[in-house]
Structure 1
Amino acid sequence: MKVLMLTNRVPFPPNSGYPIVVYNTIKGLLKLGVDVTLFSINASKHNVDVDDIYDPVFEKINFHSFNIDTEVNIWGAFFNIFSNQSYNVSRFYDEDAEKLLENVLREQEFDIVQFEGLFVVPYLDTIKEHSKAKLIYRAHNIEFDVWEKLAAREQFRPRRKYLEFLSRRLKVYETEQINRFHQVFAISEPDRQNILRLGCQTRLDVFPVAIDFEKYNVDVTKTSFPTLFHLGAMDWRPNKEGLEWFLDEIWPDIEKLSGELRFYIAGKNMQKQFFDYDSENLIVEGEVFDAVEFMNSKAIMIVPLLSGSGMRVKIIEGMAMQKCIIATTMAAEGINCENGKNIMIADTPDEFYRSILQCITQPNKWQDIGKNARKTVERDHEINSNAKRMLAIYEILILS
């Protein structure tokens, strides 16, 4: 079976949410003998030097990429207002990229073409024109929902109005495109429900984040306590917004609990403001070389998301590393978890305070939650079982 996957960024190395999801999907399919071709928009924001990729998965696929400057341009954003296009999406389209994709389609026939996210959907017409493959749209999240929630929390009125405008444009685009595919994959059950509310009438299945447990080896002898940590890319606005809220509203009281307590924050593109916080017990790491090793060395994971959609890959990774995770309801959405059993849910400063206090004073509590978390993700997020189920759907589509 020949599968073409389209991505809005190069998923090598798999060091954040979207690349991890795509990378593990490819890895799982390759194990089942699927012939995978990858066409990636090499976006300026996450640009990868393709010549520097050394990865066994990369060596087994046919790879094509095209560099596009996707940075927000003031004039581009202004003139877009007078068009009928979503500015979030249109920045990922380029005529030369389309021509390269046409060449790929002329050189090889595919059974399945899988669009990984909304930002590669502008190339749908090209695929339809040059291929008879079955078409799959994988929704990594509900894009308009992310921006709608960000707008709701924005206090500066002009910015809030523009965010509302962007979310409306995205909603129209997502609604128009959703039924142009033979199959849709949602990343969580709540997202599946949201896609149905958009009017989806095509086949719709849930495929959660899948991970390879060979990568997540727990060594509790290297875990320091009492330690809190947060890990996430700071160029994603919901991460930045949530961490700001935690540091401003919650951390000052938490810090007083123990002079030995340390809070480590790490992630790509760490903003200067986080280095400037006046706190002796706050350690800002910036981007870490090995995220798994970083997680293993700390005890309690803090995920204070206030907006967003989809499924938080870092929470799945944290659960795989047997971490006790204290997260907002928003952050845990779509994950099969139970408060007090395999995760701790906190939505207010008081709830975060009490949850952290409980973990510090009852070490057995956070250790038991971490063990249960590992069992949960082993059951629901194993790479090979997810790949087998995906391949089975491919086979049904091809026969239909």
Structure 2
Amino acid sequence: MPFPPKSGYPIVVYNTIRGLLGLGAEITLFSINTAKDWVDIEDIYDPVFDSIQFYSHELDTGVNVWGALFNIFSNQSYNVSRYFDEDAGKLLENLLRENEFDIIQFEGLFVVPYLDIVKANSKAKLIYRAHNIVFDVWERLANTEMFTPRRRYLQFLARRLKAYETEQINRFHQVFAISEPDRHSILRFGCETALDVFPVALDFKNYVADPTKVSFPTLFHLGAMDWRPNKEGLEWFLDEVWPDIEKLTGELRFYIAGKNMPRHFFDYDSENLVVEGEVLDAMEFMNSKAIMIVPILSGSGMRVKILEGMAMGKCIIATTMAAEGIECEHGKDILIADTPDEFYRSILQCITHPTKWKEIGSNARKSVEKNYDISFIAERMFKVYNELLNA
């Protein structure tokens, strides 16, 4: 569900819809309303929502022990199959029979299980938008898992995902990658269909910074904590980096925020470290802090929160993995750190030279305005639609 657009996937889908509406597209959205991130449709008050035809189906996609066990003896990817439901399929089938569409765009791998239904009931051109390389995320998680039985199960899930992802990629008329590194990955595992890059789009009217409200010296981390790369990266930072950073100055504060915050993170709470959990206004939270920390060690795709931080003029210190796919330059509009020592030196530099982090934040805003504007990306996407229809 892209309403409300508060985290990565919803922001990508919401801004895609918003940009296309601005070009006069007529849009119908079919969403899986998962129990994990359930949204009350009656509580959606949004002009974008009011401008589209909307259909949804509620589904509990949570991990079931017995389901996971029986899946081992099937040939399906458990990560993906949990998102398919026969009732949702019937609703989608009726929708396709009653309407004629020019383009049907699948946003992410977890709606691809409905591809056969779409193919059987529509003559539309079909596009797959890869928000990341899903199996790559699980492969990297498996490689960092120390507990052998869990590592082997993660490897098993990654193999199943890879088989499914590579089999489906050539069943579409067009594929959109979210970043240039992801485009290369998709090509490597055998994509033979048309392939283009459409990154995250931002509406910069929503990112207005107020420097008078920034508290310094402050660090912050903001991200959904039910996404394993966020959780594991932050654990690494708190265990390996923060103890030395905390000693730099008694005035330094590190704020951690994000939905579904695991309980054990609150055990880190101290005078210098504030664990807030989910915040009501992410932009207000981000605006009030100086330096953004993104210590992601695994994953693929594009970190939307980094782009939002850049749009808010924040100095961001991130791992190479976290910044993967984003148009940025170390030392100019971002600081890259991959080891505890590199994080330490980058944070020390920002604290002792306040003009440094301000300069990087200012450059960051200019960079995202140049590369990730919603109008420019929507126009490019609309052009591809027309080319498909006229082919």
Give the TM-score taking structure 1 as reference length. Answer: 0.97
Matched, 1:317 2:317: no
> What is the percent sequence identity of the aligned residues?
76
Separation in structure 2 between the aligned mates of residue 322 and residue 45 of structure 1, nearest angstrom: 32
Separation in structure 2 between the aligned mates of residue 277 and residue 289 of structure 1, nearest angstrom: 22
Q: Structure 2 residue aligned with 1:40, among 31, 36, 44? A: 31
3-state SS of paired residue (1:270): coil
Q: Structure 1 residue aligned with 2:11, among 2, 6, 20? A: 20
Separation in structure 1 between the aligned mates of residue 374 and residue 9 of structure 2, nearest angstrom: 15
Post-superposition, which runs of at least 4 consecutive aligned residues in structure 1 deviate over 2 A? none
The amino acid of 2:299's aligned partner reads: G
3-state SS of paired residue (1:113): strand
1:279 Cα deviation after fit: 2.9
1:44 Cα deviation after fit: 1.2
1:109 is matched with 100
Superposition map of 1:144-293 within 5 A:
144-277=135-268, 279-293=270-284
1:347 is matched with 338
Separation in structure 2 between the aligned mates of residue 109 and residue 83 of structure 1, nearest angstrom: 35
1:387 is matched with 378
The amino acid of 2:343's aligned partner reads: F
3-state SS of paired residue (1:276): helix
Structure 2: which 5+ runs fail to align?
none
Matched, 1:305 2:296: yes
The amino acid of 1:341's aligned partner reads: K
The amino acid of 1:348's aligned partner reads: T
1:107 Cα deviation after fit: 1.3
2:360 is matched with 369
Matched, 1:357 2:348: yes
Separation in structure 2 between the aligned mates of residue 201 and residue 292 of structure 1, nearest angstrom: 40
Superposition map of 1:48-67 within 5 A:
48-67=39-58
Separation in structure 2 between the aligned mates of residue 84 and residue 272 of structure 1, nearest angstrom: 36
2:285 is matched with 294
Q: Structure 2 residue aligned with 1:92, among 70, 77, 83? A: 83
Separation in structure 2 between the aligned mates of residue 45 and residue 159 of structure 1, nearest angstrom: 23
3-state SS of paired residue (2:360): helix
The amino acid of 1:160's aligned partner reads: R
Structure 1: which 5+ runs fail to align?
1-9
Residue by residue over 1:245-300, the C-alpha shift from the partner in whole angstroms, topping out at 9 and shown as x without a partner, is 00011001000001000000000011111111153200111111111111110000
Moved more, 269-278 or 185-194: 269-278
Q: In 1, are the aligned partners of 2:108 and 2:129 still within 8 Å (CA)? A: yes
Separation in structure 1 between the aligned mates of residue 160 and residue 41 of structure 2, nearest angstrom: 33
3-state SS of paired residue (2:27): strand
Separation in structure 2 between the aligned mates of residue 278 and residue 305 of structure 1, nearest angstrom: 21
The amino acid of 1:83's aligned partner reads: S
Separation in structure 1 between the aligned mates of residue 203 and residue 276 of structure 2, nearest angstrom: 26
1:6 is matched with none
Residue by residue over 1:134-161, the C-alpha shift from the partner in whole angstroms, topping out at 9 and shown as x without a partner, is 0000000000000000000000000000
The amino acid of 2:278's aligned partner reads: E
The amino acid of 2:112's aligned partner reads: V
1:346 Cα deviation after fit: 0.2
Moved more, 14-23 or 50-59: 50-59
Separation in structure 2 between the aligned mates of residue 295 and residue 280 of structure 1, nearest angstrom: 20
Q: In 1, are the aligned partners of 2:28 and 2:53 still within 8 Å (CA)? A: yes
3-state SS of paired residue (2:149): helix
1:385 Cα deviation after fit: 0.5
Separation in structure 1 between the aligned mates of residue 128 and residue 338 of structure 2, nearest angstrom: 32
Q: Structure 2 residue aligned with 1:79, among 41, 51, 70? A: 70
Separation in structure 2 between the aligned mates of residue 50 and residue 162 of structure 1, nearest angstrom: 36
Residue by residue over 1:22-75, the C-alpha shift from the partner in whole angstroms, topping out at 9 and shown as x without a partner, is 000000000100000000011111111111111110000000000111000000
3-state SS of paired residue (2:187): helix
Separation in structure 1 between the aligned mates of residue 185 and residue 265 of structure 2, nearest angstrom: 34
Residue by residue over 1:143-184, the C-alpha shift from the partner in whole angstroms, topping out at 9 and shown as x without a partner, is 000000000000000000000000000000010000000000
Separation in structure 1 between the aligned mates of residue 84 and residue 38 of structure 2, nearest angstrom: 16
Separation in structure 1 between the aligned mates of residue 373 and residue 134 of structure 2, nearest angstrom: 26
Separation in structure 2 between the aligned mates of residue 365 and residue 60 of structure 1, nearest angstrom: 43
The amino acid of 2:390's aligned partner reads: L
Separation in structure 2 between the aligned mates of residue 229 and residue 78 of structure 1, nearest angstrom: 39
